[in-house]
Chains A and B, each alone.
Chain A
Amino acid sequence: MVTHEELERLADTLFEKTEADELEIVVTSDNSALTRYANSRIHQNIGRMDNGLSIRAIFGKRIGSASTNSLSEDLALRALKRAETIAKHQREDPHFRGLPEKAEGGKEKSSSYVPSTANFTPEERADAVKKIIDHASRKGVDRVYGSFQNSEQGLFVANTNGIRKMEKITKACLTVTAIADWDNDRGFGWGEACSPDVNRIDPVAVAEVAVEKGLNNIDMSSVEPGEYTVVLEPLAVKSLLIYMGFMGFSSRAVQEQRSFLNGKFGKRIMHEEVNIRDDVGHEEMVGTTFDFEGVPKQRVDIIRDGVVNEVVYDSYTAGREEGKKSTGHALPMPNPSSPITMNLILDKGDMSTEEMVETTDKGILVTRFNYCGVVHPVKSILTGLTRDGTWLIEDGEVSKPLKNLRFTQNLTEAFSQLEGIGKEQKLFSFDYYPVFVLCPALKITNFNFTGGTEF
């Protein structure tokens, strides 16, 4: 990977050559690898290396942006010239208040970078996959599917207001889908683990979870759609939290009045035991400690004791409100999707998943949700389907596997109807954004299932 000194030199060159009033450069670097397997055979195995240089040039309130994936001085200067040319032809943005100033905070988390993850080899990934295949086969499951990825990612941000920051993080994620009865298209089970430290992932233990679920998911029954008490395992809760974040936890959504939190600040909208925050400082959380503008990520208590408290800001949305400062949640700017929550945490409670099941007369146990879609963001209505293991709970026991169900549910209502919060949190990452989620299982009453599938 490119060194800090090389990036400092590049920043010096660009700052010296620029004609702009303000300049920001953001360099991302990625060295990642992923092994995918299906039908108990490796079918894709990749490694990739890339860098990205984004330049934001500002003349007054006119902003231009250009990027290249080359860090050569020649192409970097060409990108600088292009950003400046765009800015000169740009119209003034009345909402822009200038690039962020240097701020204290954001001390690097040593736990987010683990060299053994960065150096994990294709042979080690393949060996782990082989162990998963062999373990599943011993248990009578001949087909497993999934991926094992490890990555090392760097972020460098510098601007003409004095910000210069660099940090690297590592990530390892393993997923296992067991299909216990491929010929009859049933017996799906899922296991997953994510950590900055690849050595904390036990492939056989993850496989065991998937295999056990798959073997117990053979003779599926149907239930009528309707309202049920649900026990949502942490992975299912993750989906709800991610979409809640997209629908309402950003200052941009609030400013544009499309957040379900609009008009609710200071009011209780969820169960009093619900605490949702964005906090990269949590000991189990992973991520850079500053955002793509170089602003240290602040802890933001979004929902405190069920009450709407605050949302996340970048410098642009902070500039639109008197007295607000960025909370350090910017994506690469300018960006109509920024800011976003990047390190979402739902506080844990005191129930085990087993206790949630034992205290349920009739309900449904959900492993995870698939392909969720926002039906109405202001009403926080989300739809999606269960996947890879859904079971009926009767008289305090998991009684039989169910065919997958579609839910269509107001999430604010769901988080008001809690009957239990899990006492163990699990860490998950999200594929398309630099987002991590740490959350426990939940028990929710009157969860609305609106349809079913044939499998």
Chain B
Amino acid sequence: MEDLLEYGLKELDKHGLRYGDIRFSDISTESIHVKNGAVESIKHRQSSGYGIRVIDGGWGFASSSNLTEEGISHTVKRAVRIAKASSVASDPIRLKEITIYQDEYTSPYRINPFDVQLEEKLEILTEAESRMKTDECVRVSTANFTAWHFAQLFGSTEGAKIKQDFIQCGGGISATAMDGNDVQTRSYPNSFGGDFHSEGFEFFRSLELVENAEKVGKEAVALLKAKQCPSGNTDLILETSQLALQIHESCGHPTELDRVRGTEASFAGTSFMTTDKLNTLRYGSKDVSLVSDATTPYGLGTFGYDDEGVKARKTDLVREGLFVGYQSSREDAAIIGVPVSGNMRADGWENIPLVRMTNINLEPGEWTREEIIEDTKRGIIMDTIKSWSIDDKRLNFLFGTEAGYLVENGEIVGMLKNPTYTGITYEFWNNCNAIAGTDEWRLHGVPNCGKGEPGQIMRVGHGCAPSRFKDVRVGVGKW
């Protein structure tokens, strides 16, 4: 790849461009899906190629899997032609000045998941899957494993040359129970595939899927007999697997500066967190501090450098409730006049980098989960993502969770099914009145964040601890 990078940079030089970069990626993925006693799929995927981004009157980007000098020359020409075409409706493009690096980064791991025998993975998954069948009501049980290996090489006409290598993996289990009248699902450690880290196979082992399987199966069955979540306003305690999604949707996306500037207006939408609100909007209560942190150990959004060559860093988004910062690209940062945050990431070599979340974390508080429950006179605990919906400015949200637990006078008194809650983002976060501490702070990996046209899927992280929100509307809709 390094020879091709040098060749490609020389090709870019021939065009006398103001700016150009080339990003090579070689990506391997292994995924295993076990369902109802059968290993339904074992897949290995490999993809390699490069994307070339240039400024020549406007932006141009072209990507190709043709890993030859001829292929690179052709792709450079295509990118330049596209950029020139863009110039009929482009403003002059400015990029924020950054420190230029030549460096290497490797994500930390102990056991490469691609070196682990298939038999061991299958043994964990099939055993966990079968242990969830605690009752004949459990009709569908699944267990998943996914591992990724990314080898990347980035170079720019500014002199950057950065080599990065990442290992990521994780998985989860899920049981669906049915009794003829209802269907309920319970998952661990999270739904939609489980939980994921930038870590080796040791992380997958640490999830202890087999040890947790029986509990998951029993909870799915228990949900069938649980009471319907009541409708009304109440205290809401979110467990970390659900709070991760709340952070993702209501803080992560609205602080992406490209959305704020309108460049996602026709697709993903815009944001209520406009530039006039920077340093003035009371986003949350004093307890709420949120950061974008690409340096969080083992985060799914952790790296050495972003896909513009900006060194990984931590950026305050909300500090003690006040909205103070954005996730940005070099271009966004130059236009708005804010610091560059190093959030440009692309899904694979074939896509253009966009402003994407890294690890958006809620800083820990000083409570314990037990203290929060004991301090709650009447409320509902909600756990594990089931459905999500939010408007295109990220204000009005409605989330469904797998399981709810009614709290009365400081004690959990019963299970609730179909729990949903809704609210307006800043009202919700301003009603946050308790956050658990470091001991209960968990880092979750979300492998399926969608954005952009053509659609890109990104892996991001969210760290948080169980938290309480007062006066939240729950039990939405007719049941």
Residue positions of A touching B, CB distance < 8 A: 32-52, 63-70, 75, 79, 82-83, 86, 89-91, 93-95, 121-123, 125-127, 129-130, 133, 143, 145-147, 149, 175-177, 179, 182, 185, 256-258, 334-336, 370-379, 381, 383-385, 387, 404, 406, 408-410, 431-432, 448, 450-455
> 13 A-B residue contacts at CB 8 Å?
A46-B61, A47-B61, A47-B62, A50-B49, A66-B46, A177-B266, A370-B392, A373-B400, A383-B477, A387-B269, A432-B455, A454-B393, A455-B272
User: When A42-B86, A47-B78, A86-B118 are in contact, do A384 and B389 touch as well, CB less than 8 Å?
Assistant: yes
Is there contact, CB below 8 Å, between A450 and B476?
yes
Q: How far is the CA of A94 from the CA of B39 in the complex (A)?
A: 10
CB < 8 Å neighbour of A39 from B40, B66, B88, B262: B262
Q: Which residues of A contact B422 (CB under 8 A)?
A: 406, 450-451
- Give the residue of B40, B65, B274, B352 whose beta carbon is less than 8 angstroms from that of A336: B40
Contact of A41 with B91 in the complex, beta carbons under 8 Å: yes
A377–B184 CA distance with the chains assembled, in angstroms: 10
Q: Assess the B39–A91 pair: CB atoms within 8 A.
A: yes
Contact of A258 among B49, B183, B388 (CB under 8 A): B183
Expressed in whole angstroms, the Cα–Cα distance for A258 and B176 within the complex equals 9
A334–B40 CB distance below 8 A: yes
B122 at the interface (CB under 8 A from A): yes
Instruction: Kindly state whether residue B38 has any CB partner on chain A within 8 Å.
Output: yes
How many angstroms from the CA of A85 to the CA of B85 in the assembled complex? 48
Q: Check B90–A385 contact: CB distance below 8 A.
A: no
Bound: A44/B354 CA distance, A: 10
CB atoms of B90 and A42 under 8 A apart: yes
Closest Cβ–Cβ distance, residue A165 to chain B (whole Å): 22
B140 at the interface (CB under 8 A from A): yes
B453 interface neighbour in A147, A334, A374, A375, Cβ under 8 Å? A147
A63 to B39, CA, bound (A): 9
Complex CA–CA separation, A278 to B86 (angstroms): 39
Report yes or no: B43 in contact with A374, Cβ–Cβ below 8 A: no
One of A94, A95, A147, A334 near B266 (C-beta < 8 A): A147
Question: When A37-B89, A45-B86, A48-B64 are in contact, do A67 and B46 touch as well, CB less than 8 Å?
Answer: yes
Which residues does chain A contribute within 8 Å of B200, judged by CB atoms?
Answer: none
Contact in complex: B265, A408 (CB < 8 Å): no
Q: By the criterion CB–CB under 8 Å, are B43 and A65 in contact?
A: yes
Residue of A65, A126, A185, A408 near B86 (CB, 8 A) is: A126
Near A by CB (< 8 A), chain B positions 373-398 give 386-393, 395-396, 398
Cβ of B64 and Cβ of A45 under 8 Å apart?
A: no
Given A49-B63, A65-B41, are A257 and B392 also a contact pair (CB < 8 Å)? no
Instruction: Give chain B nearest CB distance to A184 CB in angstroms.
Output: 11
Assess the A69–B48 pair: CB atoms within 8 A: yes
> Given known contacts A38-B265, A122-B60, what 12 new A-B pairs fall within 8 Å (CB)?
A43-B90, A63-B42, A64-B42, A70-B48, A121-B85, A133-B89, A145-B262, A147-B453, A336-B35, A371-B391, A450-B422, A454-B396
Q: Is the beta-carbon distance between A90 and B269 smaller than 8 angstroms?
A: no
Contacting pair B266 A38 (CB below 8 A): yes
B interface residues, Cβ below 8 angstroms from A: 33, 35, 37-49, 51, 58-66, 78-79, 81-83, 85-86, 88-91, 118-119, 122, 126, 139-140, 142, 176, 178, 182-183, 261-267, 269-270, 272, 274, 350-352, 386-393, 395-396, 398, 400, 418, 420, 422, 424, 450, 453-455, 476-479
For the complex, give the distance between the alpha carbons of A122 and B83 in Å: 9
Closest to A377 in B: B183
- The 3 tightest CB contacts between A and B, nearest first, are A334-B41, A408-B477, A373-B389
User: Using Cβ atoms and an 8 Å threshold, which residues of chain A touch B58?
Assistant: 42, 45
B194 to nearest A CB, angstroms? Answer: 14
Q: Which residue of A lies closest to B37 (CB)?
A: A94
Give chain A residues whose Cβ lies under 8 Å from the Cβ of B43.
65-67, 334
| Set of chain B residues within 8 Å of A127, measured between Cβ atoms | 88
Name the one of A41, A51, A130, A452 contacting B65, with C-beta atoms under 8 angstroms.
A51
Is there contact, CB below 8 Å, between A82 and B396? Answer: no
Closest residue of B by beta carbon distance from A30: B350
Q: Is A50 a contact partner of B45 (Cβ separation < 8 A)? A: no
Residue of A nearest to B269 (CB): A370
Known: A38-B262, A123-B85, A431-B453. A66 touches B398 (CB 8 A): no
Contact B118 A66, beta carbon cutoff 8 Å: no
Which residues of chain A have C-beta atoms less than 8 A from B61's C-beta?
44-47
- B130 to chain A: closest CB distance in Å? 12
Chain B residues with CB below 8 A from A376, complex form: 400, 418
Given A69-B49, A374-B387, A455:B263 Cβ within 8 A: no
Residue of A nearest to B398 (CB): A383
Cα of A182 to Cα of B260 in the assembled complex, Å: 12
Which residues of chain B have C-beta atoms less than 8 A from A372's C-beta?
389
Chain B residues near A373: list those with CB within 8 A: 387-389, 398, 400
Q: How far is the CA of A47 from the CA of B84 in the complex (A)?
A: 13
When distances are taken between beta carbons in the complex, the residues of chain A under 8 Å from B64 are 48-50
Contact between A44 and B352, CB atoms less than 8 A apart = yes
Query: A65, B44: Cβ atoms under 8 Å?
Result: yes
Point out the residues of chain A lying under 8 angstroms from B44, CB to CB: 65-67, 79, 82-83, 86
| Residue pair B88, A130 in contact (C-beta under 8 Å) | yes
Given A48-B62, A387-B391, answer yes or no on A68-B47 (Cβ-Cβ < 8 Å): yes
Smallest Cβ distance from A134 to chain B, in angstroms? Answer: 9
| Residue on A nearest B34 in the bound complex, by CB | A91
- Tell me which residues across on chain B come within 8 A of A175, comparing CB atoms: 266-267
Residue on B nearest A379 in the bound complex, by CB = B479
A86 pairs with B42, CB closer than 8 A? yes
When the two chains form their complex, are residues B46 and A69 in contact, meaning their CB atoms are under 8 A apart? yes
Q: Which of A44, A90, A256, A408 contacts B398 (CB 8 A)?
A: A408
Bound complex: CA A232 to CA B60 (Å):
38
A238 CB, nearest partner CB in chain B, Å = 15
For the complex, give the distance between the alpha carbons of A82 and B40 in Å.
17
Most buried by A among B46, B83, B266, B420: B266
Closest Cβ of chain B: how far from A298's Cβ, in Å?
A: 24
A123 closest partner in B (C-beta) = B85
The reply to whether A451 and B261 contact each other, CB–CB distance below 8 Å, is no
Tell me the complex Cα distance, A373–B476, Å: 13
Residues of B within 8 A of A404 (CB): 391, 396
CA–CA, A451 to B427, complex, Å? 15
Contacts of B85 in A (CB 8 A): 35, 45, 121-123, 125-126
Please give, as numbers and ranges, the residues of chain A lying within 8 Å of B182 by CB-CB distance.
378
**Most chain B CB inside 10 Å of its own CB: which residue of A149, A175, A258, A385:** A385
Give the CA-CA distance A387 to B400 in the complex, in Å. 21
- Bound together, the chains give a CA A450 to CA B423 distance in angstroms of 11
